[in-house]
Amino acid sequence: MGVSLLAAWLTQHGGPSIAALCASKRGDPMPVFERFLSVWVALAITMGIALGQVAPNFVSFLASLEYGSVNFVVAILIWAMVYPMMVAVDFASLARVHERPKGMIITLVVNWLIKPFTMALLGVVFFDYLFAPFIAPGTSGQYIAGLILLGAAPCTAMVFVWSQLTKGDPNYTLAQVSLNDAIMVFAYAPIVALLLGVTDITVPWETLVLSVVLYVVIPLAAGILTRVWLTRGRSDTGSVVAGFTAKVKPFSIIGLLATVVLLFGFQGGVILSQPFVIALIAVPLLIQSYGMFGLAYWAAKAWRVPHDVAAPCALIGTSNFFELAVAVAIGLFGLNSIAALVTVVGVLVEVPVMLTLVWFANRTRHWFAA
């Protein structure tokens, strides 16, 4: 969501400490949209619910603009969200993955061998058993599916924000994000299909693969081509890319918030009849987020990884690529599905959780060797 501009700004200003997370005499290090993303999402949720009640025919018309499993309006909004962050990814940084191998190993193990499976387990425990009396019969699979879609997609762009706020190594962070994106192209669909199959949720492979192609492969290819075009013959590649993403940043934010409005427009009836459903969804998400961070951060400390690598390596395992999760949930289960609702609640929960973890990482810097 235009975070390459933020990363460049923070780098230029030396990278803030946790004290800068709060308002200071010099101003906030995080632009207001990123810093209060959960607030804007909450407002978009309110607008969406209101729209669904005031103009249900209009919302139904938007839902009808689809072919197969792809809604044209949502597809455009998702591309607007994802494209700027794909421009910021530099696959040339993959040549540096060997420079900080311990952090990379922790990241890969947590992101691809632990996180998707623990998220699926939490979904089954809470929605098949603990929360079963509080949700409509036969809907637990949708809740679990939404959680799986979130858990199987490690964060990309927002990691640049969290890394900068913890004074993380920028080269390591870039290599880490690039490697995860490369793996995601090939691993996301099989992992999701496996976990949905284990939890007895039938998902057509062709729909899942189509979603990955539409919302990962195509934006990633467009981002790579754009980056090549922007930086050809230029030595100041970082500033050029940052300048471009600054221009497209508003479209990314509008895409995210407009998608939330639409999703909650379709979900308004469910939420008004069961307002506590958002709280139910948030519980496993909170457990997963803090648990994955604790695991990765402890492993980094035990393995004597320096803090400027330990912090971003733990944070990427905590955060989710919620743009992809939202898009795939819509493609697989529909705009008005509970699975789509779960992925949007992930957006609402993530930002405040990540800010608390940034605060914790900065307060515990002394745990790590210089």
Residue 248 domain-assigned?
Answer: yes
Q: How far apart are CA 232 and CA 254, in angstroms?
A: 29
Whether residue 38 is predicted with pLDDT greater than 80 in this model: the reply is no
pLDDT of res. 328: 82
Residue 15 domain-assigned?
Answer: no
pLDDT of res. 26: 36
pLDDT band at 30 (very low <50, low <70, confident <90, very high): low
Q: Which two tokens stand for residue 286?
A: 């909170």
Whether residue 263 is predicted with pLDDT greater than 90 in this model: the reply is no
What would the DSSP string read from start to end of 296-314?
A: HHHHHHHTT--HHHHHHHH
**Helices 170-198, 140-151: crossing angle, 10 deg rounding:** 150
Alpha helices in 13-71 (DSSP H): 32-35, 37-54, 56-64
Cβ-proximal residues to 2 (8 Å cutoff; 6+ apart), any chain: 84, 85, 245, 246, 248, 249, 250, 252, 253
pLDDT band at 39 (very low <50, low <70, confident <90, very high): confident
- 278-335 confidence digits (pLDDT tens): 899 999 999 999 999 999 999 999 999 999 999 999 998 888 887 678 778 887 887 7
**Phi then psi dihedrals of residue 347, to 5 deg:** -65, -45
Residue 89 domain-assigned?
Answer: yes
Residue 7 domain-assigned?
Answer: no
Please tell me the total count of domains within the chain: 1
Residue 78 domain-assigned?
Answer: yes
Tell me which residue range forms the domain holding 104: 33-362
Other Cβ atoms less than 10 A from the Cβ of 35: the count is 17
- 222-244 confidence digits (pLDDT tens): 888 998 898 887 877 778 887 88
Burial class (CB in 10 A: 0-12, 13-18, 19+), 70: middle
pLDDT of res. 33: 65
pLDDT of res. 204: 63
Residue 139 domain-assigned?
Answer: yes
pLDDT of res. 240: 84
Q: HSE, CB side, 13 Å, CA atoms: give it for residue 303.
A: 19
- 128-172 confidence digits (pLDDT tens): 999 999 998 999 999 999 999 999 988 766 677 788 778 888 778
pLDDT of res. 13: 38
CATH number at residue 274: 1.20.1530.20
Residue 252 domain-assigned?
Answer: yes
The better pLDDT of the pair 88, 191 is held by: 191
Which amino acid, residue 331? G
Residue 352 domain-assigned?
Answer: yes
Other Cβ atoms less than 10 A from the Cβ of 292: the count is 24
Whether residue 247 is predicted with pLDDT greater than 60 in this model: the reply is yes
Whether residue 36 is predicted with pLDDT greater than 80 in this model: the reply is no
Question: Given the structure tokens 């081509």, which residue do they identify?
Answer: 225
Q: Considering only CA atoms, which of 33, 38, 49 is closest in space to residue 261?
A: 49
How far apart, in Å, are the Cα atoms of 183 and each of 95, 192, 213, 217, 288? Answer: 15, 14, 14, 11, 21
Whether residue 248 is predicted with pLDDT greater than 90 in this model: the reply is no
Whether residue 17 is predicted with pLDDT greater than 70 in this model: the reply is no
Please give the average per-residue pLDDT across 166-190, as a whole number. 83
Percent of the chain with pLDDT over 70: 85
- For the chain, what percentages of helix, strand and coil (3-state, to nearest 5) are there? 80, 0, 20
To the nearest 10°, report the CA torsion of 7, 113, 367, 8. 0
- 40-98 confidence digits (pLDDT tens): 878 888 898 899 889 988 888 887 887 766 778 877 887 887 787 778 777 776 676 67
